[in-house]
Amino acid sequence: MKLSLGNKLTILLCLFGLLLSGLASYYSLSSSKQILIAAAKRDLLVANQVLGRNLQSSLENFANDLKVLSTQSQPVDVLQDTPRSPREAVELTQLFTSMLNAHPEYQRIRLIEAKNHGLERINVDRHGITASSALQEKGHFPYVFKTLKLVPGQQFFSEIAPSRLDPDKVLTLHIASPIWTDDQQVLGLIVLSINVKKLFNRLQRELPDYYQLFLANSQGELLLNPERNKSQTKSQGPSVMVQTQLPELRALLEGQSNNMLSILPAKREQPTRLAAFTTVSIEAESKHLLLGLAVPEEHILEASRELDQRLIQIIVVLSFITLLLSLWLARNMVRPLNQISLAIAHFSKNLSLQPLPTERGDELGTLARDIRAMQKKILTQIIELNTNQQELQRMAHNDPLTGLPNRRLFFDRLQHAISNAERSGKLLGLLYVDLDHFKEINDNHGHAAGDEVLGTVAHLLGSVTRSGDTVARLGGDEFVILFDEVESRATLLGIAQKLLALLQNRLLIDGKDLQVRASLGISLYPQDGSDAQTLLQNADRAMYSSKRNGRNTITSA
């Protein structure tokens, strides 16, 4: 298939435009995707660190509250069973209660004595104050036996571990401070129990929904596991150790680094996620929490998907514009070309000038102007050629002095008239005129006067003819008149007599009064000859008869 230049141009320009816009879009897309992911990573890391600091400061606040409680005088008095003890116990209970009321995360505050196997002395929890008969011995719990070994000012932070028998049970963090007498004897402790889930719900509320929050204790045991399907019973399924799932986390758990960024691979019901992990130290020494935030990669790419769509729209629009532009450009290029070729075709066919895009300022305009100039030049030359030809024609058939047809043209016309008369059956008449004594005029008055006489006679001859008749000068002072249509010889004789009468008048030539007379001979077609030669000879002979008969007379053949 042959493509027109316009189509070729359109396709080429379109492809070029598409290629450019496609390349530009691809590069901007891939770079923006990377930027998006980098930004998401940064956000995630920052969010996780902020969350970590929030958690840290919450924990510090809890520790401070506990410190305030443990430095009061009442615990010592109560544990020493001083006389003021009952009243102080009431005060302390009120203090515990008000503290619980002030902090929704606080689950329980207890005063526990060192003796009696760690018997609780005061126990206030969300349900109220525990009756003294229901108080329990807690000596075998780490928060008791470990706290009792601490020096004043130190605090115990328990490991947060899910209850093995009842995983639905609240996750608890126990913070404990030992109570010492003035004489350096440990009396007991105050334990503040924190509802970890409540604390994290509060922290999580500040995060967007799509963030998944992970929390693991220092063993790497997952405490908050967002991967657990909500519908699935929480107590079921394995207790998950993060380091087995993500071995890189071991470095964090072992305290080699503070935070890291990682990809959580896709698994059952969970998409691939981008995750940031950070450790929060409860205590300077060992125990820390591992805090993780994860965002599904999908979510990050969602933004870029919007970008994709926007870019696709832009590409479509750009392509459309490219198409329009290419069409317009191609038309603009091809239309003048077509116009020029059409104009050239017309010119070569019939020399007509068609419109050309000469007004354009570009190369096509120049081309059009050059072509126009060329056309004009050709036209001028053709006209000149025609004029010259006409002049040559005239010079070949006419007598230069009188402007009358010469012998050659006369013969043409005579033959033409004979063939016409042959068909129509009409009569033709020839009148041969020869001036009398013309040589003497030339000799006596000069050639200029002779020429003038010839011109005047030619004029005179013309005056007796009708249109269609031909007056010719055969040479010297001989003229002949062809009458295209005559009724009879008598008519022709009449015309000849009229002419002879006119010639009797004197002519005023060059200020001189001259007598110019002529001898006339008549021949008639078809009586006096059926061909031009014979007819003219017969007229000539008749004219000579006139000459012989004394001139200034008419003789008929």
Partner 1 sequence: MPLRSLIPILVLCLLSLPLQAKPLLRVLAWPGYADADLVAAFAERYDADVEVTFVGNDDELRLKLSKEGGKHYDVIAANTSEINHFVQQQLLQPLRLANLTQRNGQLQQFRQLNDIPGLIHEGQAYGVPYVYGEMGLIYNRKMMSRPPTSINSLWDPQWQGQVLAYDGSSHSFSLARQALAKPPFATPNEEMPATLAKLIELRRNVLSFYSLPEESVSLFTQNPVALMYANYGRQQLKLLQDAGADVGYVIPQEGAFAWLDCWAITRTTPNRDLAEQWINYSLEPQVSGALTERQGLENTLRNPQTENAPLHLIWLEPVANAELRAKLWQSILAGERPSNLVQP
Phi, psi (5° rounding) for residue 383? Answer: -60, -45
The yes or no reply on residue 268 touching partner 1 (CB under 8 A) is yes
Among 238, 361, 511, 550, binds partner 1 (CB under 8 A): 238
What does the DSSP assignment read for 344-412? HHHHHHH-------TT-SSHHHHHHHHHHHHHHHHHHHHHHHHHHHHHHHHHHHB-TTT--B-HHHHHH
Q: Which is nearer to partner 1, 6 or 162 (CB)?
A: 162
Nearer to partner 1, 169 or 310 (CB): 169
Residue closer to partner 1, measured from CB, 148 or 536: 148
Closer to partner 1 by CB, 248 or 308: give it.
248
DSSP output for 130-194: PPGGG--B-TTSHHHHTGGGSPTT--EEPPP---SS-TTSPPEEEEEEEEE-TTS-EEEEEEEEE
Per-residue binding letters, 148-187, with partner 1 (x by CB under 8 A): ----------------xxx---------------------
Q: Which stretch binds partner 1 (CB under 8 A): 42-50, 98-106, 130-138, 317-325?
A: 130-138
C-beta closer to partner 1: residue 110 or 413: 110
Tokens of 503: 């010639």
- Quick one: which of 141, 228, 251, 537 contacts partner 1 (CB under 8 A)? 141
Q: How far is the CB of 219 from partner 1 (least distance, A)?
A: 8
Min CB(196)–partner 1 separation in Å: 19
CB of 362 to partner 1, least distance (A): 53
Binding to partner 1 by residue 83, rule CB under 8 A? no
Contacting residue, 56, 72, 80, 136, with partner 1 by CB under 8 A: 136
Q: How far is the CB of 117 from partner 1 (least distance, A)?
A: 5
Strands 554-556, 517-525: pairing is: parallel
Residue 145 sits in the site that holds partner 1 (CB under 8 A): yes
Examine residue 526 and say whether the peptide bond preceding it is cis (omega within 30 degrees of 0).
yes
Question: Does residue 132 touch partner 1 according to CB under 8 A?
Answer: no
How many helical (H) and strand (E) elements, i.e. helices and strands, does the chain have?
15, 18
* Locus of tokens 């091809």: 334
> Is residue 2 near partner 1 by the rule CB under 8 A?
no
Beta bridge partners of 479: 433, 473
Closest distance to partner 1 from the beta carbon of 110 (Å)? 11
- Give the binding range for partner 1 (CB under 8 A) out of 92-100, 137-145, 316-324, 448-456: 137-145
| Rounded (5°) CA angle 53-57-63 | 145
Contact 187, 80 (CB under 8 A): yes
477 is an active site residue: yes
Draw the binding track, 98-127, toward partner 1 (x: CB under 8 A; -: no contact): -------------------xxxx-------
Q: Judge contact between 457 and 471, C-beta under 8 A.
A: no
484 close to 542: Cβ distance less than 8 angstroms:
no
Rank residues 238 and 425 by Cβ distance to partner 1 and give the closer one.
238
Angle of the 5-70 helix axis to the 196-205 helix axis, nearest 10: 140
In terms of CB distance, is 6 or 220 closer to partner 1?
Answer: 220
Percentages helix, strand, coil for the chain (3-state, rounded to 5) are 50, 20, 25
Q: Which of 319, 317, 358, 314 is nearest to 336 (CA)?
A: 358
**Residue 230 interacting with partner 1 (CB under 8 A):** no
Q: Is 82 in the site for partner 1 (CB under 8 A)?
A: no
Instruction: State the minimum distance, in angstroms, from the CB of residue 244 to partner 1.
Output: 6
| Residue 359, token pair as written in the block | 């007004």
Among 237, 265, 468, 475, binds partner 1 (CB under 8 A): 237
Q: Does 354 bind partner 1 (CB under 8 A)?
A: no
Residues 44 and 275 sit within 8 Å (Cβ to Cβ) = yes
User: Total binding residues for partner 1 by CB under 8 A?
Assistant: 27
* Contact with partner 1 (CB under 8 A) among 43, 91, 137, 248: 137
Is residue 231 involved in binding partner 1 (CB under 8 A)?
no
Give the whole-angstrom CA distance, residue 133 versus residue 110.
Answer: 15
What is the C-alpha to C-alpha distance for residues 106 and 121, in angstroms, rounded to an integer? 18
CB 138 → partner 1: shortest distance, Å? 5
Decide: is 138 part of the binding site for partner 1 (CB under 8 A): yes
Site for partner 1 in 481-540 (CB under 8 A): none
Helix (H, G, I), strand (E, B) or coil at 451: helix
Q: Are the C-beta atoms of residues 368 and 51 closer than 8 Å to each other?
A: no
* 134 scored as a contact of partner 1 (CB under 8 A): yes
By C-beta, is 106 or 143 nearer to partner 1? 143
| Closest CB to partner 1 among residues 142, 153 | 142
Given the residues 77, 399, 434, 477, the one annotated as active site: 477
Give catalytic residues, as residue numbers.
477
User: Would you tell me which residues interact with partner 1 (CB under 8 A)?
Assistant: 117-120, 133-142, 145-146, 164-166, 233, 235-239, 244, 268
